[in-house]
Structure 1
């Protein structure tokens, strides 16, 4: 774990050291334990971890707050809400990207996979958003305005007739790390399609006409899925299925080589995903609320069955940290270290981010100071050793 509490903080011999930060009197959460101690950061990396306090001059006393690894959010469509705050209203892309980034940092997220829609998902207005959102993120990056590390996650609507062309326009984006194939068509699950369309107050006659049309005409979703999988494999991109409902759909996903199940919506689908060795990603809002807002399985039930690998924020940035606190607070739940790993170490491992995801020597100093005030409150954030909040 490093030197003892009474030893002087180690000093680099390199006189040109860029920056040193020492955080002490912290409840440090590593991959396996939580203990009171001190963390030394040098040049943006964790240089040393020790138990107890330090007397080194300039050390920051964090008053016994928790020190967590920065959270890694692999699925959030929060930027879309900033760009399109109301139907028919498109906000300034740069301002939207900056507001999105600030809220993520305030939630303890230091690495985010911005989950941007490719296609319309039943709303033609959304089809035009992808280049606008990428423009805002790119401009914010060029101006050095982003606090978190932003990577790209493309959520692809398999129902979109021109999906592959839309995807290929951005398939070689330098930040692209993850692709989800989303299929909410009546072909995949007519009953779920009926349920979702009724929520939109779609007339029953239109719902049944849509189901009949798909059943009797050529359907592009299968061809889109097959071609997307081929393009992802060629680029070495991880790709996921989405909203799996049945064991049969998991089996179908496995035949395509999908190794990630995002938001399985029934216990049966989640169990099948686990049996197939798939990584299971769930949404924090569902876990915190104790239920799905559209009647899907409760993530708490998945947790009780050991069917969670990664927690994402989905659409509420603060939900990952709240979900972690909820799980760690259950008498039969995981330890705090185990719960924290679901939002940091596990996504880092799943997506090959070997330089981050835990508090350990040699890792990037992505750290979050969290006070427990009837729940977790983020008080400070460091990204690669630089305090950004």
Structure 2
């Protein structure tokens, strides 16, 4: 029986903080007790938390293309991505893979299948340190999004599907200028091409979005896949998501949409970068404004894995909330949203020993160790 003892830590338990000792045996939490013992890892009063559960990260894309026109070998990119997550304290992740995009030759249109295959093969080979799962981001304006997604409906790693609509003039991009700023910067679309580009996007949405939504919703229901809405901007968007059977509202863009979602039981997910920067890069509602209204249930790292731990302290310190309360948005709540709370997401006897230790000097919290099922991974 392999045993690890962590003592003199500020254990962040579901209902409070305990200065005490946690014992790991065979990859699971075997005991939690108050007080300090004379064996094991002495934390000198540092924090010990459950591993973070991430539902939406695009970090694999960053590792695949670290610079424009650079295509990194996919197997290596996936391993780098895995190590990024481990170093950020993430022990369970839903890797966000986009199905459909605005440009026909983009990486998202050509690499989604190799990305999924590489993640599955890496997981089966034991190549990763983190528990990887799939989040398929389905762009409703892409004509083939349903037929492309449907073969993955029974994929053993699939945990989440989100319905996206990045059409200019609505949701995330109500302000056309923000849309132009984002896509001209990201995809190099010239000013002269932009108007045709916008017209094409609007036409594609009108032609394909409704039918794609219906088919994807039916697929999610038939295969019992957790469904998320994306960038809801109005109460009407939220009501549509509720009718679809969505459980999560990703990144609502307005206070009204977040209120509607929260009132009707959708788990509201916001981004950690938004919290740290104090604003949305698209000019939408700030995550902290929603946190202050008690409207946020889950925090995602989105495009910066390392942002999660810092965002946890931003919430705890900004709202004068105990850390054990703030951490639920990063641990048990996302685990519960995709049905994994039975064995992870909190420090409880019998659960997986997915744990992290950290020191906070009052400026930037620093992870000191990360464990997945009792094995140190960072």
> In 2, Cα distance between the equivalents of 1:233 and 1:47?
37
Higher mean C-alpha displacement, 146-155 vs 253-262: 253-262
Does 1:111 find its partner at 2:100? no
Aligned to 2:35: 52
Going from structure 1 to structure 2, the CA distance change for 1:68 and 1:123 (only over 3 Å counts) comes to farther
TM-fit CA distance, 1:250: 1.3
TM-fit CA distance, 1:106: 0.8
Aligned to 2:45: 64
Q: Deviations over 1:122-147 (max 9, x none)?
A: 46312112122223323432432211
> In 1, Cα distance between the equivalents of 2:102 and 2:36?
53
Aligned pair partner of 1:269 in 257, 262, 272 = 257
RMSD (Å) for aligned C-alpha atoms? 2.1
Aligned to 1:255: 243
Aligned pair partner of 1:241 in 229, 241, 259 = 229
Q: Runs of 5+ in structure 1 lacking a partner? A: 1-16
Does 1:387 find its partner at 2:351? no
Aligned to 1:20: 3
Alignment of 1:161-180 (within 5 A): 161-180=143-162
Going from structure 1 to structure 2, the CA distance change for 1:264 and 1:333 (only over 3 Å counts) comes to farther
Q: Runs of 5+ in structure 2 lacking a partner? A: 185-189
What TM-score do you get using the length of structure 1 for normalisation? 0.89
Which secondary structure state, in structure 2, belongs to the residue aligned with residue 219 of structure 1?
Answer: helix
Going from structure 1 to structure 2, the CA distance change for 1:387 and 1:329 (only over 3 Å counts) comes to same
> In 2, Cα distance between the equivalents of 1:314 and 1:209?
26
Between the two proteins, the alignment pairs up a number of residues equal to 369
**Are the aligned partners of 1:94 and 1:139 in contact in 2 as well (CA < 8 Å)?**
no
Aligned to 2:293: 305
TM-fit CA distance, 1:226: 0.7
**Are the aligned partners of 1:83 and 1:133 in contact in 2 as well (CA < 8 Å)?**
no
Going from structure 1 to structure 2, the CA distance change for 1:122 and 1:252 (only over 3 Å counts) comes to farther
> In 2, Cα distance between the equivalents of 1:306 and 1:124?
41
Aligned to 1:9: none
Q: Deviations over 1:100-135 (max 9, x none)?
A: 111111111100111111112446312112122223
**Are the aligned partners of 1:310 and 1:342 in contact in 2 as well (CA < 8 Å)?**
yes
**Are the aligned partners of 1:280 and 1:310 in contact in 2 as well (CA < 8 Å)?**
yes
TM-fit CA distance, 1:251: 1.8
Higher mean C-alpha displacement, 118-127 vs 25-34: 118-127
User: Which structure's CA Rg is the greater one?
Assistant: 1
> In 1, Cα distance between the equivalents of 2:4 and 2:328?
24
**Are the aligned partners of 2:168 and 2:201 in contact in 1 as well (CA < 8 Å)?**
no
**Are the aligned partners of 1:80 and 1:133 in contact in 2 as well (CA < 8 Å)?**
no
**Are the aligned partners of 2:358 and 2:368 in contact in 1 as well (CA < 8 Å)?**
yes
> In 1, Cα distance between the equivalents of 2:85 and 2:262?
30
Going from structure 1 to structure 2, the CA distance change for 1:134 and 1:307 (only over 3 Å counts) comes to same
Aligned to 1:341: 328
Aligned pair partner of 2:126 in 128, 144, 148 = 144
Does 1:366 find its partner at 2:348? no
Does 1:318 find its partner at 2:318? no
> In 2, Cα distance between the equivalents of 1:290 and 1:122?
31
Aligned to 1:133: 115
**Are the aligned partners of 1:72 and 1:344 in contact in 2 as well (CA < 8 Å)?**
yes
> In 2, Cα distance between the equivalents of 1:44 and 1:169?
34
Which secondary structure state, in structure 1, belongs to the residue aligned with residue 143 of structure 2?
Answer: coil
